[in-house]
Amino acid sequence: MASIKDLTEFVIQADIEKVKETTAALLAAGEDPLKIINEGLIPGINEVGERFKEGNLFVPEMMMSAQAMKAGVDLAKEKIEGADIPNAGTIVIGTVAGDLHDIGKNLVSMMLDSSGFNVVDLGVDVPADKFIAAVKEHKPSIVGLSALLTTTMPAMKEVIDALKESNLRDQVKVVIGGAPVSQAYADEIGADGYAPDAALAVELCKKIA
């Protein structure tokens, strides 16, 4: 039977069918869905990012690998969800304006959802005014912002500024994440927290909600 390590290779090859087949087989064999995501699927997409940076692979391939990764995550997700968990609060989350990356944000949403949070996911390329409208409508305790591009990181500060202008800043906590983001950047723009991965994002949100 194919292993978790094979999954990494299938994501790199963008082989959606093999990713689905292997993920399903591993789940059927009782493998932990989070282990499948963290040790199988994520290393694959990270390697794709490295090859893209080195110029050995291009956007269409990166897109296909992302689709393969998503197919695996969707299957693993079904095994994580479903438990009846008490409500931990509402979080509005989205990828900031100009940024279309959503794999990491979706993982964070999924983990928060399965930890009892009511997650309002605004999707990708979300402008500051849409975050403001969602805060007014859903009254969350937390706003989560994701950015994967150094060029879209400043849009996180724009959301925080817009919250201040709308007199909403003291009603919500703001947490940020995404590969180029750091605790130092969170401090710099006045966010309430940063987490480097989905599991720590849940810990952080539980702590500050």
- Report, in Å, the least distance between residue 192 CB and ligand B12: 11
Q: Between 9 and 99, whose beta carbon lies closer to ligand B12?
A: 99
**Dihedral angle computed from the Cα positions of residues 46, 48, 49 and 50, in that order, rounded to the nearest 10 degrees:** 90
Cβ pair 172, 191 in contact under 8 A? no
As measured in angstroms, the least distance from the Cβ of 132 to ligand B12 is 17
Q: At what angle do helices 42-53 and 59-80 cross, to 10 degrees?
A: 170
Q: Least distance in Å: CB of 168 to ligand B12?
A: 17
Which H or E element spans position 105? helix 103-114
> Minimum CB separation from ligand B12 for residue 95, in Å?
8
Q: What does the binding site for ligand B12 look like in residue numbers (CB under 6 A)?
A: 42, 45-46, 48-49, 52-53, 59, 62-63, 66, 98-105, 107-108, 144-146, 148-151, 175-180, 195-198, 201
Between 11 and 26, name the residue whose CB sits nearer to ligand B12.
Answer: 11
The b-or-e profile of 36-71 (16+ CB within 10 A means b, else e) is bbbebbbbbbebbeebeeeeebeeebeebbbebbbb
Provide Rg for the chain, Cα atoms. 17
| Contact between residue 69 and residue 45 where contact means Cβ atoms under 8 Å apart | yes
CB closer to ligand B12 out of 108 and 128: 108
Report the residue number, 28 or 59, with the smaller CB distance to ligand B12.
Answer: 59
Nearer to ligand B12 among residue 104 and residue 140 (C-beta): 104
Least spacing, CB of residue 142 vs ligand B12, in Å: 9
